[in-house]
Structure 1
Amino acid sequence: MFDRLLNFLNSLGEDSQANRSTGDYADNDPRLCATALMYHVIRADGVLREVEKERFEALVRQENNIDSAELDKLLEAAKLADNEAIDLYKFTSVLRMGLEMEDRVHFVELLWELVYSDGERHELEDNVVWRISELLGVDGRDRVSMRQRVQSRMEGDADG
């Protein structure tokens, strides 16, 4: 499943034209869209903690299988894209069209990992994940299931 997601993200990125505002990434590049949404989630509560930033960078690197230089480019482009965006639809529509449902559910799970990376679930972060899930066509049952899965895993990590 992860390989399909990675292959899809990489293949679309290769075909896309560079965009002036986001450097090497076109507006419809799924890597940019996914990373911008992830960045939006970690900023939702108005406090960007170092642990959130580190988890964000680790997830982006892991999901895209990229080196440090490419990671820096993608992160900067995503931050800029998120800051310029007027809504989440711009990003979610690209992902919804290109990802199978199980990959969209996996993406929601990644968002929950970001939410819980600082050890707490803020209501604004929760709301953003809910909105992104709805726009991706992920039903509430899957969204809640992914939240519970991540919460249980994070609590297990804290105990161990």
Structure 2
Amino acid sequence: MIASLQRLFLDLMTSDETSEEEVPTLELATAALLFEVARADYHLDKRELTMLRNLLRRHFDLGGEALDELIHLAQQEAEAAVDHYQFVSLVSTHYSYAQRCELVRMMWSLALADNEPHPLEEHRIRRLADLLHVSHADFIRAKLLVQGHLDP
């Protein structure tokens, strides 16, 4: 998987023109959705960026330059995207329901990393959870798990 990510990054960096039909990888789509949550309150806190790195490192077993490049590309994709459709549809197609619930839990971990819950972050997570077809009960369960109010 690391080799395919590195090929993707190399292709993206050496490409002179980008096609509008290019589809992001599952890793990039996941990272972009997480980055959307991190920037939802219009403030990227150092603790949130650290949490993003840790989440992506564990989730995709990445490190070093591959992880740095994934985060950089995720930031670019999130900032350039008009909507979340391309990311959400890719994740919805390839992730099981349990994996989508885990992604929502990761979103909550990211939003609460700075110990400052923000209504815009909650709104973004709720919207993404709905688009990912994660039930409201599982949305709340993920939040309570991250807050430590439920046992895993």
Task: State the TM-score, normalized to the length of structure 2.
Answer: 0.84
Q: Secondary structure at the match of 1:94?
A: helix
Q: How many equivalent pairs are there?
A: 139
Aligned to 2:61: 65
| Counterparts of 1:27 and 1:76, CA distance in 2 | 17
| Counterparts of 1:141 and 1:120, CA distance in 2 | 23
Aligned to 1:78: 74
Q: What's the CA shift for 1:83?
A: 1.0
Gaps of 5+ in 2: none
For 1:1-160, list aligned pairs within 5 A. 10=1, 18-19=11-12, 20=15, 27-152=23-148
Gaps of 5+ in 1: 1-9, 154-160
The residue identity in structure 1 corresponding to 2:123 is: N
Higher relative CO (Cα under 8 Å, sequence separation at least 6) belongs to: 2
| Counterparts of 1:131 and 1:80, CA distance in 2 | 21
Alignment check: 8 A CA contact 1:31 1:64 kept: yes
| Counterparts of 1:65 and 1:35, CA distance in 2 | 13
Backbone CA RMSD of aligned residues: 2.1
Runs of 4+ displaced beyond 4 Å: 16-22
Alignment check: 8 A CA contact 1:49 1:118 kept: yes
Identity of matched residues, %:
27
Q: What's the CA shift for 1:120?
A: 2.1
| Counterparts of 1:27 and 1:111, CA distance in 2 | 22
